[in-house]
Structure 1
Amino acid sequence: MGRPALPIGTFGKIKTYPTQTGYRARCLYRDYDGKVRSVEKAGRTKAGAEAALKLALRDRGRVVGSGDITSDTRVRAVAELWFAGLRDKSPTTLESYRRILDRHIVGAGPKPAGAKAPPVLLADLRLRELTIGIVDRFLLKLAEQHGAATAKLARSVLSGICGLAARHDALDRNPVRDVSRVETTPRRAPRALTTAQARQLMAMVTYDDGAVSRDLPDFIAFMLATGVRIGEAAAMTWDAVDLDAGTVEVRSTVVRVKGQGLIAKSTKTDAGARALVLPSWCVEMLRGRGTDGAGPVFSAVRGGWRDPSNTQSDLRAAFTNAGFDWVTSHVLRKTVATVMDHAGLSSRAAADQLGHANPSMTADVYMGRKVASTGAAIALEALGPA
């Protein structure tokens, strides 16, 4: 019976031989293609030669790799291959990933304005050097210099890069999976407007010339009547509004994409695409605006899509001028959810109204989604003029 073959990724007995300049260490190694090859390294001493050989075997054991990605490929190259292969991500997600790559991983982008420290980079590391410890220290340093949100997004990007390397056998595992958690500041308890405060806010902004010139009173009223996001309100078109039925269809959201400008893209999830019943006071408000075919209900001052980022700044100024400097657009959404909760409506109805995906499989399978009535319209009547 013949000698059993070496298991893949293992080596046989190390033998050392004296040379004119020191020693040579040699052994047989069975590569991941099944072939047995002789591997050798030299050193000035016997121990040095053996150590050099074992180090080479260790790196060889981290896999030769396939295609253009090997354990010696630099992170920079794999990052670009990973990003080029993204197909099912939204434009805003792709832009966020690209920003993380350019600023903190491959270093191709400009230094952020006002940065307190230079970016932390991994670009020139080889995949075999991308250990759990290296990644962990990188993310901790990134969180310290640029905040937990940036570190968490970088972790997602690195996980994708390392996952691609692992699928090419250039890494024996994805090191990102075992790094420590990125600690974030505990979230504050949700704060919402009371019914009286919501009415006061809607009244106050009508006396703000700046807010009126930017068409914010109706925009704020619409958000309080529906609970939609800023981008969804900006993307609302007249062909999605049925004033006779008193309903609106949330189909898309406005985003700014580098090189393309403002675009209206379909909502990110199935839960985001929904039809909502409007309270009567909102129907009357929209009826007073008139209709404009398929154009946006809340267009920019000069026409076209309203920029969500600029609108966010305009809202912040309007809220401050009205004496509600703590209010944000998210507070308007929380107000809608709170009003529904106080009216005895379920959290499922609130999730449908706000466009949140419900994790309960039973509810998802046995209860219809995207229905035109969640009960919010009746509850939100309370926000209308007294």
Structure 2
Amino acid sequence: MTRLVETRARSKTEAEANLLQRLRARTAVRHGGTLRSVDRFSTAADLWMGRVSDMVADGRRSPGTLDTYRRQLDNHVLPALGEVRLGEISTPLVDSVIRTIKTKVSPATAKSSRSVISGVLGLAVRHGAMASNHVRDAERLEVKPRRRPRALDRSERDACFEALAANPKAVRADLPDLTLFMLSTGVRIGEALGGCGRRWTSIAVRSRSVDR
């Protein structure tokens, strides 16, 4: 059975490009995956977030990373791309979404949203639902830090620990040891409370003994 496929655009060239893209989407196969080109971006996003959650459980990603991805996905990415079918996503569309987030929200949010979109589309490519990850050809984002980071000097470090030790709430929450552990190892707070959370207290006590 033969079915006609039609597309409309402002020019003949654009209409032909849209037609080719739609034909590729209709003939795309799964290659053993669970996604198809006719599935919506939101479906792939749910599957990708499940993979990220598994990596957090395995200690390969921090809980903070999962929270950031979920926030950017719900607040910025899904409103723009959630209902778009995977086979209809293009580099110009992805580029437009990222630039809009950068203009309306912030460059930092646009950069993390770009990572989310790239992760979802990369999963779609691996499942055979897309031929390529269009984020790769989108415009790169350069995010300048608002302030140059500065390390604490010795007097500031000592004052920080003295203030924590003198605060009963901080002591009950083990913040002095947690702060010392993070300072001694250089890990992020998500890593300290996540994958390293079972070991940080004993390490911090040893580090404090050596420091003294």
TM over 0.5: yes
Q: Does 1:192 align with 2:151?
A: yes
Residue by residue over 1:237-272, the C-alpha shift from the partner in whole angstroms, topping out at 9 and shown as x without a partner, is xxxxxxxxxxxxxxx733xxxxxxxxxx3239xxx9
Aligned match for 2:43, one of 77, 100, 111: 77
Identify the residue that residue 253 of structure 1 maps to in structure 2. Answer: 192
Query: What is the CA–CA distance in structure 1 between the aligned matches of 2:126 and 2:177, rounded to whole Å?
Result: 51
Compute the displacement of 1:231 (Å).
4.5
Structure 2 residue matching 1:182: 3-state secondary structure: coil
Preserved CA contact (<8 Å) 1:41 1:52: no
Identify the residue that residue 15 of structure 1 maps to in structure 2. Answer: none
Q: Which has the higher contact order (CA 8 A, sep 6+)?
A: 2
Preserved CA contact (<8 Å) 1:226 1:278: no
Query: What is the CA–CA distance in structure 1 between the aligned matches of 2:179 and 2:6, rounded to whole Å?
Result: 73
Identify the residue that residue 23 of structure 2 maps to in structure 1. Answer: 60
Alignment of 1:246-325 (within 5 A): 253-254=192-193, 265-267=194-196, 275=203, 278=206, 282-283=208-209
Preserved CA contact (<8 Å) 1:135 1:179: yes
Alignment of 1:104-123 (within 5 A): 104-107=76-79, 121-123=80-82
Q: 1:200 to 1:140 in 2, by over 3 A?
A: same
Alignment of 1:1-386 (within 5 A): 40=4, 55-62=18-25, 63-66=27-30, 69-86=35-52, 87-89=54-56, 90=61, 91-107=63-79, 121-186=80-145, 188-202=147-161, 205=163, 212-215=167-170, 219-220=175-176, 223=179, 227-228=183-184, 231=189, 253-254=192-193, 265-267=194-196, 275=203, 278=206, 282-283=208-209, 377=210, 380-381=211-212
Q: Name the aligned partner's letter for residue 105 of structure 1.
A: V
Structure 1 residue matching 2:55: 3-state secondary structure: coil
Structure 2 unaligned residues grouped into runs of 5+: none
Compute the displacement of 1:277 (Å).
7.8
Residue by residue over 1:278-316, the C-alpha shift from the partner in whole angstroms, topping out at 9 and shown as x without a partner, is 56xx44xxxxxxxxxxxxxxxxxxxxxxxxxxxxxxxxx
Q: Name the aligned partner's letter for residue 55 of structure 2.
A: D
Q: Name the aligned partner's letter for residue 135 of structure 1.
A: V
Structure showing greater Rg: 1
Structure 2 residue matching 1:267: 3-state secondary structure: coil
Q: RMSD of aligned C-alpha atoms?
A: 4.1
Residue by residue over 1:161-191, the C-alpha shift from the partner in whole angstroms, topping out at 9 and shown as x without a partner, is 1112212332211001121222212364442
Compute the displacement of 1:192 (Å).
2.7
Normalising by the residue count of structure 2, what TM-score does the alignment of the two structures yield?
0.67
Residue by residue over 1:20-55, the C-alpha shift from the partner in whole angstroms, topping out at 9 and shown as x without a partner, is xxxxxxxxxxxxxxxxx8564589xxxx9xx97885
Q: How many residues align?
A: 193
Structure 2 residue matching 1:253: 3-state secondary structure: helix
Normalising by the residue count of structure 1, what TM-score does the alignment of the two structures yield?
0.40
Preserved CA contact (<8 Å) 2:181 2:203: no
Structure 2 residue matching 1:88: 3-state secondary structure: helix
Q: Name the aligned partner's letter for residue 73 of structure 2.
A: L
Q: 1:127 to 1:199 in 2, by over 3 A?
A: closer
Structure 2 residue matching 1:227: 3-state secondary structure: helix
Query: What is the CA–CA distance in structure 1 between the aligned matches of 2:93 and 2:17, rounded to whole Å?
Result: 22
